[in-house]
Amino acid sequence: MAQSNLRHHSLLVVTFVAIALGAFSPSKTWSAGFARESAVVKAVKKVSPAVVNISSQYEVIKRSNPFFDFGLDPFFESFFKDFFEPRHRRRYKRNSLGSGVIIDGGRGYILTNEHVIARSAKITVVLRDERELEAELVGAAPDFDLAVLRIDSNKELPAIRMGSSDDLMIGETVIAIGNPFGFSNTVTTGVISALNRSIQTENRTYQDFIQTDASINPGNSGGPLLNINGELIGINTAIYSKAQGIGFAIPINKAKRVVDDLIKYGEVHIAWLGLSVQDLDPKLARYFKVPEGQGVIVSYVAEHSPAQEAGLQPGDVVTGVGKKRVASREAYHAMIRDFAAGDAIPLTAWKDGSTEVLKIHSRTFPEALAEELAYKSLGVRIQEISRAMRLRFRIAARDGVMVTELRPGSYLDRIGVRPGDVIRRINEKEVKTVDDFKGAVTKYRHKESAVLLIQRGNQQYYVTVKIEI
């Protein structure tokens, strides 16, 4: 009996040891363990082939005249600059790294940030299979920090699946994929921390960003922000240098409208309503019985414009666009930029002592109004440079448009611009013809100011002009 019990006990020990050894054997799978292929892993596997590395090359010109290092008297500095600088400029080629995502595999369209490819002379895209292809710029929208590239491939490319950013929830899991510091397809995860964030940079204000705690570094810019299902809900951007542990992304529904215009026209066609607005000062706010900091006053309504057709008049106060309150002129224009030409835009306005909600059917800005708009906003009328005008005003400029009239009392009139002067550039847009001028006025009509390059004889100078309507 004792021997039988001993054999039974020994058999239990051997069986336990065998099970234990089997459980920890590297060649076996522990059937009771957790599934390792999580939703995040599945999403990354699905999307990674559509994420690309973008390398853009641009030229930097640096003066190398040693005399500038000694703090010369301004007179001599000017002399040395004129004498030496043309001969002592060094040109450098620099590379900028970023990310992008393929949104149309058949046509080879890639979505990225505008600042990733800004100033680029050459753009190279590296695919997941390590193929390097040169890309062409389809269109860029600096006000939205978005750009569309196109590459030619001998086979259809993997494309990402579009999601929606209209139903995002604070706290939901998000995944960012990009190429920080040149490391391809780096994955970070986090949650949505906030929605509708405004970001102020040195050059402009961006509206309605997604804020996340997923790490987004230089190189991640232009890469996709995904929901847990691997759908594209935003384009990551690293434009806010002060961010620590905070990432931002452009909502994909906002990006879709920009992308459509960039592919169709090469630029964004912002909705045109035909009105200009100004900030409400405290006195006007009290007069219209509108809380200070809420609303903008309509200062101008164009004839036969969508705004006039909807019943808006100078003196009305716009207090909301859609479901958002309007706090300033800048905020109003940022909200309007979210709409495409052809959209019906709901405006809340204070008219004749009561609040009304108007639906304004926007259109594309008619370039036929550009010259009249230039007279109202910049204070100039222009024309092509004819041979007769070139001789009469001794015009040395080969390209540009000639100023023919100045609005009395306008800024350009006050500082001494005169007929015969030539406008060569408006902001970064070069002006060679009247059509170029109209295009620039149309493009920058919502800006608070514009920088004009004006030439008189052989002298050129830059003038910053406040847009007055």
Catalytic residue among 55, 56, 96, 115: 115
What CA–CA distance (Å, rounded) separates 3 from 66? 102
Q: Which of 145, 261, 316, 436 is catalytic?
A: 145
Is 145 an annotated catalytic residue? yes
Name the active-site residue from 56, 96, 221, 305. 221
List the structure tokens of 444.
Answer: 């920058």
Active site residue 38: no
Nearest alpha carbon to residue 143 among 52, 254, 297, 242: 254
Active-site residue, 304 included? no
Query: In whole angstroms, what is the distance from residue 366 CA to residue 142 CA?
Result: 22
- Residue 291 gets the label, from left (phi > 0), alpha (psi -120 to 50) or beta, of beta
The answer to whether the beta carbons of residues 170 and 194 sit under 8 Å apart is yes
Distance of CA 424 to the CA centre of its chain: 25
The rounded distance, in Å, linking the Cα atoms of 453 and 461 is: 6
> Residue 239 burial (CB < 10 Å; 0-12/13-18/19+)?
buried
The answer to whether the CB of 99 falls within 8 A of the CB of 221 is yes
Torsion region of 245: left, alpha or beta (phi above 0 gives left; psi -120 to 50 gives alpha): left
Bridge-based pairing of strands 344-351 and 422-426 is unpaired
d(CA 257, CA 362): 15
> CB-hemisphere CA count at 13 Å for 446?
20
Distances, alpha carbon 226 to alpha carbons 174, 197, 264, 369, 392, in Å: 6, 18, 26, 42, 62
Phi, psi of 232, deg, nearest 5: -75, 120
Q: Is 413 exposed, middle or buried (0-12, 13-18, 19+ CB in 10 A)?
A: middle
Catalytic residues: 115, 145, 221
